[in-house]
C-alpha cells in the first residue's frame, strides 16, 4: 500500500487564517528586522530551525525566516527573505524583497492596516501589498 502526501490539503491547512504581505525594501534582512523591532516594537528573531532550503540545478539556496510571537495570543509573524543569490522563494513575486506571513490567529482588517502603516514608515520601504495566498504558484516554498 502506498501513501500519497496531499500537498494541496497541507497548504490549505497551513494557510488557514493567515494574511500575507509582500514588501519592497532593498535593504539587508537583519537591518530591516532591527528597524521593525526598534521603530514598530516587534521582536523579530532569526529562527534557523525553520529556514527554507531549496535546491535548483544541484545548487542549494537558503532563505532565512525571522519570527515574532505576539505575547498573550496565538498570532505569530514570519518574515521571509524572498531573495538569495539571484533565486527567489516566490518567483512570481520577484519584485518583493520580503514576505510577511501572519499565522495562528485571525488578523482583522484594522490590525492588518495598522501593521502595514507601521511598516511603510520604515526608511527604505518602497511598497507594501497584500498577497492572496490562494493565488500563489509556489506556496509550498513558504511552508515549514
The set of cell numbers assigned to 117 is: 502603516
For residue 82, give the nearest of 123, 17, 14, 26 by alpha carbon.
26
Question: Please, how many CA atoms are within 13 Å of residue 144, restricted to the half-sphere of its CB?
Answer: 19
Q: Is residue 11 part of a domain?
A: no
Predicted local confidence at residue 11, as pLDDT: 64
Domain that holds residue 39: 20-64+71-142
- CA gap 122, 118 in Å, rounded: 7
Rank 9-13, 52-56, 121-125 by mean pLDDT and report only the highest. Answer: 121-125
Q: Is residue 43 part of a domain?
A: yes
pLDDT tier at 116 (50, 70, 90 boundaries)?
very high
pLDDT tier at 135 (50, 70, 90 boundaries)?
confident
CA dihedral for 39, 71, 131, 109, sign (positive or negative): negative
Tens-digit pLDDT profile for residues 28-69: 999 999 999 999 899 999 999 999 988 888 888 899 999 999
* CATH (domain of 35): 3.30.310
Predicted local confidence at residue 85, as pLDDT: 85
Predicted local confidence at residue 5, as pLDDT: 57
In this prediction, residues 75-97 reach a mean pLDDT of 93
Q: Is residue 15 part of a domain?
A: no
Cβ 119 vs Cβ 21: under 8 Å: yes
- CA gap 75, 18 in Å, rounded: 9
Burial class (CB in 10 A: 0-12, 13-18, 19+), 86: exposed
Q: Is residue 8 part of a domain?
A: no
Q: Is residue 24 part of a domain?
A: yes
| The total number of structural domains that make up the chain | 1
**Residue 23, phi then psi, degrees to nearest 5:** -125, 125
Q: Is residue 10 part of a domain?
A: no
For residue 42, give the nearest of 14, 15, 74, 66 by alpha carbon.
66
pLDDT tier at 2 (50, 70, 90 boundaries)?
low
pTM over 0.85: yes
Amino acid at each position: 500500500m502506498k501513501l500519497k502526501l496531499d500537498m494541496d490539503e497541507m497548504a490549505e491547512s497551513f494557510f488557514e487564517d493567515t494574511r500575507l504581505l509582500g514588501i519592497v525594501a532593498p535593504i539587508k534582512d537583519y537591518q530591516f528586522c532591527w528597524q521593525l523591532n526598534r521603530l514598530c516594537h516587534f521582536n523579530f528573531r532569526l529562527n534557523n530551525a525553520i529556514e527554507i532550503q531549496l535546491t535548483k540545478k544541484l545548487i542549494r539556496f537558503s532563505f532565512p525566516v525571522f519570527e515574532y510571537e505576539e505575547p498573550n495570543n496565538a498570532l505569530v509573524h514570519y518574515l521571509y527573505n524572498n531573495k538569495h543569490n539571484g533565486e527567489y522563494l516566490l518567483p512570481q513575486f520577484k519584485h518583493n524583497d520580503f514576505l510577511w506571513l501572519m499565522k495562528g490567529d485571525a488578523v482583522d482588517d484594522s490590525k492588518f492596516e495598522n501593521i502595514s502603516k507601521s511598516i511603510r514608515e520604515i526608511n527604505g520601504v518602497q511598497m507594501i501589498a497584500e498577497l492572496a495566498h490562494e493565488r500563489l504558484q509556489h506556496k509550498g516554498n513558504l511552508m515549514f
